[in-house]
Structures are given as structure tokens and as C-alpha cells.
Amino acid sequence: MSRAVPDTHGEILAAAARRFAVAGYGGTSLQDIAREVGCSKATVLYHFANKEALLAELMAPAITVLQDLDDQLTGLTGTAAQKAAAAGFVDLAVRFRREIALLRGEFPVLLCQPAFAHIQQISERLRDAFAGHSDRPGARITALVLLAGISEACAEFVDIPDDELRPALLALVLRALEPVDAPLPQPPTTEDKEL
Amino acid sequence: MSRAVPDTHGEILAAAARRFAVAGYGGTSLQDIAREVGCSKATVLYHFANKEALLAELMAPAITVLQDLDDQLTGLTGTAAQKAAAAGFVDLAVRFRREIALLRGEFPVLLCQPAFAHIQQISERLRDAFAGHSDRPGARITALVLLAGISEACAEFVDIPDDELRPALLALVLRALEPVDAPLPQPPTTEDKEL
DNA sequence: TCAGGGTCTGACCGATCGGTCAGGCATGCT
DNA sequence: AGCATGCCTGACCGATCGGTCAGACCCTGA
């Protein structure tokens, strides 16, 4: 049988995920992680170049999916962009809520680090899509409220099953989003804008 | 005239607010604050018992208003609780968005400290009021998304004037809240249906 | 039997943190 | 002049942080 192959690497990863979720990235020391695994801090740093590399490996799957979503949103405008962004982000947030919980408000600090710089750009494009690429303050405010709120809710409601959380969030978003390209009483004359 | 009365206490307070807003509470050292004021770290600790006391004095006005809001919400139920909580919290968040920005995701950590323990209870009651005191998952999820989203938005949009931010947030909240005690399909008068 | 590579560790490093303390300095009252 | 008081500081403290390093302990293949 598969008798106790150590897999220290994986154990460290799992322990780090648990600690980060409780105390955040900044609030968790390498010593904490080592203690949880039952090894020395030096062992943690033998398996991972540094603390940031640990976080990066933990976040990698979520980041990949986030980039895919970003690709899918390119070219979409108006309500189409809003709906696609809403469905895509809600699904992503629900699936990776453990990863979102890891960062718990440390987004602003972590995104400043060069290793995560491109994430910031993606999140700005995502917010823009949520606003239907409108620059109306109402649309921009709504987009930010929803994106931040969804992240927080997913990090908080770890006990609710995906199939319950996802539709509830999606319904909320569709209810709350400002329609962006349909407030005009007579729209046909404005389509030359696209050309 | 009032010629250069030092008011070091106030200067430290202002400098701390500026630094906390940029780097967060945990990310700001007493040394940083002292450097910004142009005094020594020991001077900061001469005017304030410790770092936490500095934060407490900075947050005091906002906390007072939060407690007032909490009082006003006691006894309200259903949609009345939702609307009162929405109006009250949006107003509070807009007015004190600088204070909210100070904490930037450090709520979970700071609320664990005994000095801020009662804030956690208030915020839970507030969330409950947002949900119209319903325990439907949809209502609870919506409440959390909106509360967290509003906080984040207020911390982010420091450049938008109050009079623009407040109505936009209020409209969003009223649009997004699940009605909780009005699931009736037909209003009392059926003839206004034509309108 | 021995060499070598993968794994792991205790000891240690420099930096930084919040906080303490004795004392310097200016001012104003007696 | 002498003294008390309020304000401020440099030097220092113990703790903790992320990270380094030489070496010990396996296991395996020659």
C-alpha cells in the first residue's frame, strides 16, 4: 500500500493554506506553518524558495482561471460584458473561495509586489467589464461594491455548498447591476459610435 | 496671534491617519509615523500609551456613530429594518470613509482584540438588520455582500464627493436588497396594474 | 563498503517591531 | 536664584520576522 510517503511539500502547502485562512498571509509566520506541519522552519524554506513562493503556488490555479476569464471578456461591451463578467466571476469566486479567503484584505498590499502586478491589471479590467465599460460613476461604484462584496462573502461563507452560494450570488448581481446600454429612449441613431 | 502652538498630539494623529490609509494599521510602524511628523518614536509613545490607543482615538468618532445607528435599529424588523440599516450605514460609511480605509481588510484581525470586541457584535446585528432579520441564505448572503462592498467602495472612492457617492450607494442597496416581508404578488389595489 | 544525493535540522544572522527609561531642555512660578 | 513641570529624545530592551548555512541523517546504486 501507499505507506506514509512523506510528501512534505504537500503537507507544507496544506498547512500554509490553513494558517493563511485563519490569520492572513502577513499574520502567518514561517514558524507557524512549520509548527503546524511538525517540522522546522528551515524545512519549509528547503521546499519553497521563500514565503512569497509558497503563496504563489497556493494561488496558481485560481490565477490561471482568472486569466482565462480575462481572455473571455476581451471584446465584449455593454450588457454582454456585464453578464459574462458576472457569471464568470461568481463562478470563479465560489470555486476558489478558499484561495480568496487566504488574502483577506491583503490584496492591496500583495498586489503591489511585482510578482502579482499583472493581477492588478486583470482585476481592473474585470471591474471595467462589471461596469459595462461605462464611466458613469453609478456603474463604477456598483461594480466595485459587487466585486469586493462577492469576494468577502465567498471568503466568509465557507460552509455553504457551491450549488447554493453560486445562484444566490448570481441573482444578487443581476438584480444589482445597473443596465448600461438600454437607458436610451431612442437608440438607433447612436450606433455610428462603434464605427 | 496663534503663533505655532506645536499641537504635537494632533500632528501625530493626522500623520497616523495618513500612513494607516496608505499601508494599513499593521503595515505602519511607529517609526513611520514619527518620521512623517518629524519627531522621535519615543515622542509618539509619550502622547499615546501605545499603538492601539492611537488607532482607538482615530476611530472614536466613527465608533460613536456606529453605536448610535445600532441603537436606532433595535426593535425594527423586516423591510423597515432593512431600509433603516441601509440608509444609516451608507451615510455612516460615506461620512467616515477615511476611517474605514484605515482598517482596509484588517477588520478580522483587529476585531479579535478585546478593545474592539463589541464592534464585532454591532456589525453582526447590522448584518442581521440588512437581511431583514431573515435567516434565508439569500438574504444573509446579500447582506454580507452589500456591507463588505460598501465599505470597500467607500475606502476606494476617496475622490468622489459625498453628495455623489451617497445616493449612488443607496440606490444600489435598495435595488439589490431582497424584499423580505413583501412576497405578495398582488398589491391591495389591483387597478393600478395598468400603470 | 563507500560515495553521493535528497531531506531535514539547529544555530545563527541582520532587520524591524512595539515599548521602556533616564535624562536634557525650555518655561514659568515662587 | 531655585525649583517643578511638561515636552521631547537617544539609547536600549526583548521578541519576532524572513532567510542562510554547515552539517547530520537517511537511502540507494556501484
Report pLDDT digits (tens) over A2-39.
Answer: 335 579 999 999 999 999 988 889 889 999 999 999 99
Give the pLDDT of residue B124: 94
Give the pLDDT of residue A180: 64
Q: A176, B171: Cβ pair inside 8 Å?
A: no
Does position A188 have pLDDT exceeding 80, yes or no? no
d(CA B169, CA A11): 44
Does position A45 have pLDDT exceeding 60, yes or no? yes
Q: Where are the alpha helices (DSSP H) in A48-190?
A: 51-73, 78-95, 97-103, 107-112, 117-130, 137-156, 162-176
Chain A residue numbers with beta carbons less than 8 Å from the beta carbon of B25 are none
Does position A59 have pLDDT exceeding 50, yes or no? yes
Looking at per-residue pLDDT, the higher value among A69 and B187 belongs to: A69
DSSP state of A136: -
Burial of A122 (0-12, 13-18, 19+ CB in 10 A): middle
d(CA B34, CA B55): 15
Residues 94-113 of A with CB under 7 A from strand D: none
Report pLDDT digits (tens) over B9-56.
Answer: 999 999 999 999 888 898 899 999 999 999 999 999 999 999 999 999
Chain B residue numbers with beta carbons less than 8 Å from the beta carbon of A145 are 146, 149-150, 152-153, 169, 172
- C-alpha cell of A159? 460552509
CA–C1' nearest nucleotide, residue A33: D18
Report pLDDT digits (tens) over A135-162.
Answer: 999 999 999 999 999 999 999 998 999 9
User: For chain A, what percent of residues have pLDDT higher than 90?
Assistant: 73
CA–C1' nearest nucleotide, residue B53: C18
Looking at per-residue pLDDT, the higher value among B115 and A145 belongs to: A145
3-state secondary structure of A76: coil
Distance from CA of B159 to the nearest CA of A (A): 11
Distance A14 CA to D21 C1' (A): 27
Per CB distance under 8 Å, which residues of B are interface residues toward A?
23-24, 26-27, 104-109, 137-138, 141-142, 144-153, 156-157, 160, 164-165, 168-169, 171-172, 175-176, 178
Of residues B109, B144, B176, nearest to A27 (C-beta): B109
CB A155 within 8 A of CB A108: no
Does position A86 have pLDDT exceeding 70, yes or no? yes
CA contacts within 13 A on the Cβ side of B149 = 31
Of residues A107, A145, A175, nearest to B149 (C-beta): A145
Distance B53 CA to D16 C1' (A): 22
Give the pLDDT of residue B5: 60
- Provide the pLDDT confidence category of residue B181 given band limits of 50, 70 and 90: low
Does position B117 have pLDDT exceeding 60, yes or no? yes
Q: A141, B153: Cβ pair inside 8 Å?
A: yes
Question: Cα-atom radius of gyration of chain B, to the nearest Å?
Answer: 21
User: For chain B, what percent of residues have pLDDT higher than 90?
Assistant: 73
Residue A180 CB coordination number (10 Å): 21
Give the pLDDT of residue A127: 96
Distance from CA of A1 to the nearest CA of B (A): 43
For residues A51-72, give the mean pLDDT: 96
pTM for the predicted model, two decimal places: 0.86
Distance B44 CA to C30 C1' (A): 33
DSSP state of A63: H
Cβ contacts of A168 within 8 Å, gap of 6 or more: B137, B138, B141, B142
d(CA A21, CA A19): 5
Does position A110 have pLDDT exceeding 90, yes or no? no
Give the pLDDT of residue B180: 63
Give the pLDDT of residue B103: 82
Report pLDDT digits (tens) over B58-84.
Answer: 999 999 999 999 999 999 999 999 999
> Shortest CA distance to A22 belongs to which of B116, B60, B112?
B112
Distance B47 CA to C20 C1' (A): 14
For residues A70-85, give the mean pLDDT: 95
CB A154 within 8 A of CB B127: no
d(CA B89, CA B123): 10
Of residues B141, B152, B169, nearest to A157 (C-beta): B141
User: For chain B, what percent of residues have pLDDT higher than 70?
Assistant: 88
Nearest residue in chain A measured CA to CA from B106:
A105
Does position B189 have pLDDT exceeding 70, yes or no? no
